[in-house]
Structure 1
Amino acid sequence: MDRRLPFLDLASPTFSTRSQEVHTARQTAWCARTPFGYAVLRHRQGGMILRDRRFRQGSHSWPNMVGLKGSFAEFWKRSVISLEGEEHSALRKIAQNALAQEHIVALEPDFVEIAETLCDNLRSHEPFDIIDGFTEPFAGQAITTLLGLPLHVSERLAADATCLGLAMGPEAINYQAEVNASVDRLTKMANRLLDAPPSGSFVARLISEDYEDRQALIDLTVISIFGGVDTTRAQLAFAAHLFSQHPEQWTWLRNNPQAVSNAIDEVIRMRPTTTWATREALEDVTIGDVIIRAGETVHILVHASATDPETGHDGNFDIRVRRKPHFGFGGGAHHCLGHLVARTDMTAALNVWLRRWEAIELAEEPVFLPDSGNTSPLTMSVMPVWAN
């Protein structure tokens, strides 16, 4: 590893991928050294690497990096997120067909109804924790809707999916037992769904493709549940936090709801739940004056690359400005399969909030997971100003 480069301790629980330390390193070089490989700090090089076929998906090695063993590690290494070549392409194709745009868009009224019901239930409970009260149950019920399951199973499903998110942080080894138990429960659920898929559901659409590898379909269902719940749950909570800090932009968005899509992207730029996208070099690759050796891992930091001054971003949260694309959903051959689901259900939730809440105010300071790997608010007590 190139010792001339700055060093960032991504493994430290006190490290933040959004820190001044990262921004200072970005001024010095396009990448930095870390305990997990290189961190890519600039937008141009991040985009190049995500599209470069000399790199493969790098997350397959994450369990080894952090010392995870057991059923989660085994699941992660064999899932679509870790596969390459024809096997990855085949699974990706059937998942894309199952998550076709017209199918996801048709679910939007259901997502809106879920959000409306949750808001109705919260009106008499102030202050309330927005994660326990809204974002986690909303994300869980949105995924059970996608799966064609009754909403009453969503609480356990959401809790297990949220637990898997702990496996993607720098302190993953501390949660190994819980993570393995959660992936075991989700695997059993996926297995039952494959035996009797609800009509028109995501799993029914998967098996209509006549893919013969049952274990791969089980794993694809589990990774879809994990990503679908964890991303929506955390990004909506981060949105609430950002808008509590920028009330004037919430007011502007209420008057310009057509900008919700742009607002979601700006939330991801400024407070990404997946703080990096990972790739591994298949051969020696030279970028600028840095040689990335075969087998070395690079992590494209989402916030650092999205707020790179070379993109024109000034580092401030502003939903009114059109920006260059971020890498919060990855990119290239491994661009997130569920990005349309996440965008659709988050849009539904935000639109309901805009109608219901004139402002979002914090009742107390939130508590967050470490800002590295996968991150999320742990608690966030809010007191929205309800519209008449």
Structure 2
Amino acid sequence: MSVETAHLQQDIPYLDISDPAFAMQSEQLRDARERSWYARTNYGIAVLRYDEVSKLLKSPKLIQGSAKWPAHNGVHGGLFFDWWTKNLLVLEGEDHHRIRRLLNPAFSPRLIKDLVPRFQALANELVDAFIDKGECEFIADFAEPYATRVLTILLGIPETEWPTIARLASTVGLALGVTFKQDLEKVDAAVAELYEYAEDLIRDRQQNPGEDFVSRLVLASRDGDKLSDEELRNALVLLIFGGMDTTRNQLGLAMQSFMRNPEQWELLAERPDLGGKAVEEVMRINPTVTWVTREAVEDFSYQGLDIKAGTTVHLFTQASGTDPRAFPNPEMDLLGEHPAHYGFGGGVHHCLGHFVARADMSEALPLLAQRIANPHLAGGDEWLPDSGNTGPIRLPIAFTKRA
């Protein structure tokens, strides 16, 4: 290594992303982004700026890197490991393309659109239960039941099942946090229960198909190709886990963002048609998925950095979504025009369920804004670590009921 290269490397910021105190929205991270387009971390490299994230997300030299997440945490077997390494999130090439092609028709925007009145009725029902108290624990009273019951409506299962689904999805979510290894036993037990749940659902729809999402999955076939029962089960577990955990977290982060930007909350109350824009803005500045993981499949150089095959590359969605080079005014602005964010990932691994998340959150947020004024923290909030998948565990808020 030349003296010049050694000197350059010393100038590259280092981020300890497994430290529970590490924060995405911190001076340390903004300083790192200012100094360099990338940082070194204890899990490979982190890409911090919008332009580089945009280009690398679409690079054929990088594949989905989350497959190695269990191994990074010393986990090499068990139920979660087996499910994780075979689900759509980490599959590549023809395997990924085939399963995605077969799943796609079930995520019909038409099906989602028909469910919007039910989403609205559900949001109102949940708000009715706490509106007169002037306070609520936003996650337990709104975000979690809303996200989970939307999922039960979509899957065509009784809404009364939501507490079980929520508990299991939350437990599987622990696998994406930095405490994965110590939570492994609980995570594997939750996957076992979800397997059973999904298998019962599949058997039922094979015998009694309806108009719901699971029936569409079970009946989906292209050119004589169908999903096997195992592929169906793995896809359903991914949907239950991904659909509930991320939407609940994202709703909590949305409330946090609006409490920091009260004028935007008032704007949303006056202009409920901005619900879709509210979702995009929250996912740009405060996404639950704070990074997208890729892995280099070959040695290559990018902007003077040599990246070896096998290197883990984290594309920081939150840092890129507030990068002043791409967003001269990075603060939340429901009336602003911004480049696309990467809160749903990007490239061939763009989140398959984005229609669902966009539809249910864009109904919930304006409805909340129209019914509650001046939401603010009431103390006692608890948070997941601010890396990987993040969000509030508890979010007690107080507010004024709108006339």
Relative to the length of structure 1, the TM-score reads 0.96
By how many angstroms is 1:125 displaced? 4.3
Equivalent residue number for residue 75 of structure 1: 83
> Which of 8, 17, 33 matches 2:24?
17
Q: Does the C-alpha gap of structure 1 residues 67 and 119 become closer, same or farther in structure 2, counting only changes over 3 Å?
A: same
Match of 1:271 among 274, 278, 286: 286
Q: Secondary structure at the match of 2:15?
A: coil
After superposition, where does 1:227-238 map in structure 2 within 5 Å? 227-238=242-253
**Which of 332, 342, 354 is the equivalent residue of 1:317?**
332
142-151 vs 366-375, which moves further: 366-375
Unmatched runs of 5 consecutive residues or more in structure 1: none
What does the per-residue CA deviation read over 1:312-335, in whole Å, with 9 as the maximum and x for residues that have no partner? Answer: 243423333222111111000000
What does residue 161 of structure 2 align with?
Answer: 153
Moved over 3 A (4+): 1-4
8 A contact 1:361–1:385 mirrored in 2: no
Shift of 1:52: 1.1
| Cα distance per residue 1:220-252 (max 9 Å; x no partner) | 011011111011101111111221222221111
Q: Distance in 2 between matches of 1:312 and 1:354?
A: 26
What corresponds to 1:86 in structure 2? Answer: 94
Report matched runs for 1:239-254 at 5 Å.
239-254=254-269
- Number of the residue aligned with 2:373: 358
Counterpart for residue 338 of structure 1 = 353
- The 3 A distance-change label for structure 1 pair 231 and 313 is farther
- Map of 1:35-114 to 2, 5 A cutoff? 35-68=42-75, 69-114=77-122
Partner deviation per Cα, 1:291-320 (whole Å, 9 max, x = no partner): 111111111111111111110243423333
In the TM superposition, what is the alpha-carbon distance from 1:124 to its structure 2 partner?
Answer: 4.2
Structure 2: distance between partners of 1:156 and 1:380: 21
Partners of 1:50 and 1:332 within 8 A in 2: yes
Residues in 1 aligned to 2:368 and 2:34: alpha-carbon distance in whole angstroms: 38
User: Identity over aligned residues, as a percent?
Assistant: 37
Conservation of the 8 A alpha-carbon contact between 2:384 and 2:393: yes
8 Å CA contact retained: 2:149, 2:159? yes
Q: Is the partner of 2:325 in helix, strand or coil?
A: helix
Contact preservation (8 Å) 1:262, 1:322: no
* Aligned counterparts of 1:181 and 1:384: Cα–Cα separation in 2: 39
* 1:80 match: secondary structure: coil
Q: Is 1:385 aligned to 2:400, yes or no? A: yes
1:199 aligns to 2:210 (yes or no): yes
Amino acid at match of 1:276: W
**1:221 to 2:236 alignment:** yes
Of the candidates 141, 147, 169, which is equivalent to residue 139 of structure 1?
147
262, 271, 275: which one aligns with 1:260:
275
Deviation for aligned residue 1:213 = 2.0
Aligned to 1:163: 171
State how many pairs are aligned.
Answer: 388
Cα distance between partner residues in 1 of 2:365 and 2:327 = 27
Cα distance in 1, alignment partners of residues 257 and 320 from structure 2:
19
Secondary structure of the structure 2 residue equivalent to 1:360 = strand
Query: How far apart in 2 are the matches of 1:44 and 1:96?
Result: 29
Alignment check: 8 A CA contact 1:306 1:313 kept = no
- Answer yes or no: is the 8 Å Cα contact 1:148–1:201 preserved in 2: yes
Does the 8 Å CA contact 1:166/1:374 hold for their aligned counterparts? no
Which one has the largest radius of gyration? 2
| Amino acid in structure 2 at the alignment position of 1:323 | H
Separation in structure 2 between the aligned mates of residue 224 and residue 338 of structure 1, nearest angstrom: 8
1:31 is aligned to 2:38: yes
Equivalent residue letter for 1:186 = L
**Counterpart of 2:351 in 1: which secondary structure?**
coil
Residue 121 of structure 1 is aligned with which of 125, 129, 143?
Answer: 129
Quickly say closer, same or farther: Cα 1:245–1:365, change in 2 above 3 A. Answer: farther
Distance in 2 of aligned mates of 1:19 and 1:354: 28
Letter in 1 for 2:211: G
| Bigger mean CA deviation after superposition, 50-59 or 352-361 | 352-361
Q: CA deviation at 1:171?
A: 1.7
Q: Distance in 2 between the 1:212 and 1:310 partners?
A: 44
Asked whether the 8 Å contact 2:270–2:370 carries over to 1, the reply is no
Structure 1 residues 286-295 or 365-374, which shifts more? 365-374
Cα distance between partner residues in 1 of 2:328 and 2:363 = 27
Runs of 5+ unmatched residues, structure 2? none
Q: Distance in 2 between matches of 1:166 and 1:53?
A: 30
Displacement of 1:365 after TM fit?
Answer: 5.0
**C-alpha contact (below 8 Å) 2:138/2:397 kept by paired residues:** yes
